[in-house]
Structure 1
Amino acid sequence: MKKIAAGLGILLLAFVYYYITLPAINIHESGFWFFLGTVVVLLLVIYAVRKRLRSPQEIKSSKVMKAGLFLVLAIIVVYGVGTLLSSPIVNAKKYQQLVTPEERDFTEDIKEISYDQIPLLDKESAELLGNRKMGSMVDMVSQFEVSSLYSQINYQGQPYRVTPLVYASGIKWLTNQKEGIPAYIRIDMATQNTELVKLDKPIKYSESEYFNRNIYRHLRFKYPAYMFDQLSFEIDDEGTPYWICPVKKFNIGLFGGQTIGRVVLCNAQTGETKDYKIEDCPQWVDRAYPADLLLELYNYHGMLKNGFLNSVLGQKGCLKTTDGNNYLALDDDVWVYTGVTSVSGDKSNVGFVLMNQRTMETRYYVCDGAQERSAMDSAEGQVQNLKYQAAFPLLLNISDQPTYFMALKDGAGLVKKYAMVNVQKYQTVAIGDTVAECEKNYEKLLADNGIASGVGTESDISMTGTIEKMAQAVIEGNSHFYITLGGENAEVKGLEAGQTAQKFIFDIPVTEYPEIVGYDVGDSLTVHFIPEEPISTVTALGDKKPETGVDKKETTE
């Protein structure tokens, strides 16, 4: 009877340990070996206590203790040898070939994208917006908080960050877990529009749950042998919340050469799961490969070209990614962007890479130029009197020029201005209150400095009509006129197929077009503009180019 009770006690302790630590039952999982060793040691301790083995001589004379200690030693040896044989020290070539970057042409791959596809916010700014939105929801703010996940995704062709709510405390979980989590936060990274999306069915499986509805425990009991990497929170095309759960795959020895072999999708509302091979992962999933893993894989490729010893000693031909990364939306996928530099610390890039978070596809672009940090310093120097801080930049194609684009934030983390910095000539910096204004100023700099021939500042989209409404506002000390054009003879030229000729609202800064003060409601005017909603940025007045003046004003009787 005592033996049965002791056995049950051991099983209970082992289960409690497993329930808390959740190791995968897999020889490739280092936590499994630790769990196994812990169980054996626990059994030996209980055996020694029951047999009252106190002295070293008594322990040595026990066959059970000898066998147990031998087993513990064997576990340690297998783990140690497996770690060594899985390391880059003896497998440099295999590690170097885990990813195979394809060299591509920058101007062909990175097309000039429209402003509504450019993520203007980084994660820190998104967190500020999310917390501010949550603070306005008086019916929820006392019970829930916003998770810090903020996964970057493409949703219906637009860049978004999404994150679930979490229980504010253990007590709040106790009082709300029956109903579940009622909403998630969705932030449009281009427009900064922040929504709290309330769900018909609440989220029942999340990181903030306890016991069996905790997402990690839920996955472990369904897939006891799967080794999960970082989970991300995403929504499908219908807005249904899912947990994206990548499954590790080790390609070198027991513990080395990690990639992703499978992806489990878990419906956050119902707990229903679907298991896919990585190559069969649905298109709407954006993050099967964590950014940290992709950067690590590329660093193996760049550092181990000439073997492990060279990567430590001579470092001939060694390349590594720069400190920091950002995300770019291409072909309905999210790509990790980072620069590539030599290990010499010369603060310049030799190129950059884009790595697909769904497929691991890696593209390399040769492009000598400044590192991102140098470009950020250059942009901050243009507004040093305002003490704005630059966010880590995106790489865009502006007039076939690789260009760092970044938001400039004040001390509170709010985006105040935007900057564009030429990668190859990082002294070429343009600042603007809007993205359109920033691009216009940047293109003018390119033209003035002869960096890009044929670059102008005037849009080929124009509208001629009668001023129907006219209002004035002062923004950061500068006067702006906002006008709408219409009339029977109103005409819009240059719009692409699919664009509508609705009544545009035009922003005309007086500092750039002082002649606008001579116009009034009823006057006829031609404006060249970049179509945006709700306000379009004017690039020129009149039919002539801006440097030659505006057309003569015609007053409508």
Structure 2
Amino acid sequence: IYRHLRFAYPTYIFDDINFEIDDNGTPYWVCPVKKYNIGLFGGQTVGRVVLCNAVTGEMTDYSVDEVPTWVDKVYSAELLIDLYDYNGSLKHGFINSVLSQKDCLKTTDGYNYIALEDDVWVYTGITSVGQDNSNVGFVLMNQRTMETRYYEVSGAEEYSAMDSAKGRVQNLGYTATFPLIINISGQPTYFMALKDGAGLVKSYAMLNIEKYQNVAIGDSVLQCESNYIKLLKDNGIVEEQQPEVKETKKVKDIISKIMPVVIDGNTHMYIMLSQNDSIYDVDVSKYVDIIKYSEGMEITLEYTMDSQLNKVVGIIK
């Protein structure tokens, strides 16, 4: 591929090439072209992008602002982080970045990816140049357009959060993955997986960024989220909302289809009735009598309506 590109564009200096597929399933090599803005080889960005059809070899040269929207990666994560570090450290000039370092910021050591608005964004924390273990915010950087969004959220630095999560299960010797930042009940939250020595995911952890002593662990994502929300409520970080009271309805009909499913380790029965197309969800741990029923039998259910599943709250004999 590099020789193919060199014959067609002998004056271009290409950055790292990546492989992507367009919306029609056609494979392409995405080839960013380096652009130097300072001197001969300083101030590197991306000026153009060459798309090479991986099947036919046909190439199309685009300006960086005309790249098709199906392309995910034009700017590498490393390049985006370097550019942000330049911006953060040189805010008040080069001399300040060396001597007083007033208002100088830098990215933290790790980064991760977030799919957002049909694009891939690089996520990393922002901390002061001085050696500390806290963040002053975090930044999202679009790998196609280089758009950058800064969010001011003071709290734990990613590796400190990973150590805190590992500390909750230190007897098991798990290691934590680099965290993602998510919004849980309006709270900025680190979410990470905990792996054993073989690299298998064994549990999950959520940690409040601003109040990072609040850590919740769960064997599944749903259990972890439930434990985390309960922890936030118990510590007064979020207000406990009154549960919504849903109207209970009753239906009596013949079972046309019944099927067992396992949800988070618990067995549920999904039931369809002959007179409608709705699906009724019965938690076997709460209504064990459901195992006595089969297709063709008459059943009377109490349930609350939902958009996808009607949750059964009672079986009337």
Report the TM-score, using the length of structure 1 for normalisation.
Answer: 0.50
Q: 1:234 to 1:474 in 2, by over 3 A?
A: closer
2:120 aligned to which of 334, 354, 360: 334
Q: 1:237 to 1:472 in 2, by over 3 A?
A: closer
Alignment check: 8 A CA contact 2:301 2:312 kept? no
Query: What is the match of residue 92 of structure 1?
Result: none
Q: Which amino acid aligns with 1:341?
A: T
1:235 and 2:12 equivalent?
no
Single out whichever of 382-391 and 367-376 deviates more from structure 2: 382-391
Between structure 1 and structure 2, the one with the greater Rg is 1
Q: Which SS does the other structure have where 2:55 is aligned?
A: coil
Alignment check: 8 A CA contact 1:484 1:505 kept? yes
1:281 and 2:42 equivalent?
no
Task: Provide the C-alpha distance between the structure 2 equivalents of 1:325 and 1:461, rounded to a whole number of angstroms.
Answer: 46
Q: Which amino acid aligns with 2:189?
A: T
Query: What is the match of residue 301 of structure 2?
Result: 524
Q: 1:244 to 1:382 in 2, by over 3 A?
A: same
CA deviations 1:162-185 (Å, max 9, x no partner) are xxxxxxxxxxxxxxxxxxxxxxxx
Q: Which SS does the other structure have where 1:335 is aligned?
A: strand
Write the mapping of 1:477-556 to structure 2, written as runs, cut at 5 A. 480-487=266-273, 503=279, 515-517=286-288, 520-522=291-293, 524=301, 526=303, 542=313, 553-556=314-317
Query: What is the match of residue 344 of structure 1?
Result: 130
Alignment check: 8 A CA contact 2:272 2:278 kept? no
Q: 1:416 to 1:461 in 2, by over 3 A?
A: farther
CA deviations 1:139-195 (Å, max 9, x no partner) are xxxxxxxxxxxxxxxxxxxxxxxxxxxxxxxxxxxxxxxxxxxxxxxxxxxxxxxxx
1:418 and 2:204 equivalent?
yes
1:269 and 2:44 equivalent?
no
Alignment check: 8 A CA contact 1:446 1:455 kept? no
Alignment check: 8 A CA contact 1:335 1:355 kept? yes
Query: What is the match of residue 163 of structure 1?
Result: none
Task: Provide the C-alpha distance between the structure 2 equivalents of 1:333 and 1:463, rounded to a whole number of angstroms.
Answer: 43
1:433 aligned to which of 179, 194, 219: 219
Q: Which SS does the other structure have where 1:311 is aligned?
A: helix
Query: What is the match of residue 12 of structure 1?
Result: none
Structure 1 residue 251: Cα displacement: 1.0
Bigger fraction of residues in strand:
2
Q: Which amino acid aligns with 1:295?
A: I
Q: 1:267 to 1:485 in 2, by over 3 A?
A: same
Write the mapping of 1:160-179 to structure 2, written as runs, cut at 5 A. none
Q: Which SS does the other structure have where 1:378 is aligned?
A: helix
Structure 1 residue 461: Cα displacement: 11
1:383 and 2:169 equivalent?
yes
Alignment check: 8 A CA contact 1:408 1:417 kept? yes
Alignment check: 8 A CA contact 1:431 1:438 kept? yes
Gaps of 5+ in 1: 1-214, 491-500, 543-552
Q: Which amino acid aligns with 1:433?
A: D
Write the mapping of 1:42-81 to structure 2, written as runs, cut at 5 A. none
Query: What is the match of residue 30 of structure 2?
Result: 244
Structure 1 residue 271: Cα displacement: 1.4
Structure 1 residue 528: Cα displacement: 8.9
CA deviations 1:327-371 (Å, max 9, x no partner) are 111111111000000122221100000001011111111001111
Q: 1:316 to 1:226 in 2, by over 3 A?
A: same
Query: What is the match of residue 297 of structure 2?
Result: none
Alignment check: 8 A CA contact 1:465 1:487 kept? no
1:303 aligned to which of 76, 89, 96: 89
Q: 1:458 to 1:480 in 2, by over 3 A?
A: farther
1:355 and 2:141 equivalent?
yes
Task: Provide the C-alpha distance between the structure 1 equivalents of 2:248 and 2:32, rounded to a whole number of angstroms.
Answer: 49
Q: Which amino acid aligns with 1:401?
A: Q
Task: Provide the C-alpha distance between the structure 1 equivalents of 2:57 and 2:220, rounded to a whole number of angstroms.
Answer: 43
Q: 1:433 to 1:453 in 2, by over 3 A?
A: same
Query: What is the match of residue 407 of structure 1?
Result: 193
Structure 1 residue 457: Cα displacement: 7.9
Gaps of 5+ in 2: 294-299
Alignment check: 8 A CA contact 1:444 1:456 kept? no
Number of corresponding residues: 308
Alignment check: 8 A CA contact 2:248 2:302 kept? no
Query: What is the match of residue 395 of structure 1?
Result: 181
Query: What is the match of residue 182 of structure 1?
Result: none
Structure 1 residue 506: Cα displacement: 6.9
2:155 aligned to which of 352, 355, 369: 369
Report the TM-score, using the length of structure 2 for normalisation.
Answer: 0.84
Alignment check: 8 A CA contact 1:339 1:352 kept? yes
Q: Which amino acid aligns with 1:425?
A: K
Alignment check: 8 A CA contact 2:259 2:271 kept? no
Q: 1:453 to 1:462 in 2, by over 3 A?
A: farther
Q: Which amino acid aligns with 2:119?
A: D
Query: What is the match of residue 494 of structure 1?
Result: none
Query: What is the match of residue 104 of structure 2?
Result: 318
Structure 1 residue 230: Cα displacement: 1.0
Task: Provide the C-alpha distance between the structure 1 equivalents of 2:167 and 2:249, rounded to a whole number of angstroms.
Answer: 37
RMSD value over aligned CA atoms? 3.4
Write the mapping of 1:458-473 to structure 2, written as runs, cut at 5 A. 469=258
Identity of aligned residues (%): 58
Q: Which SS does the other structure have where 1:309 is aligned?
A: helix
Structure 1 residue 234: Cα displacement: 1.0
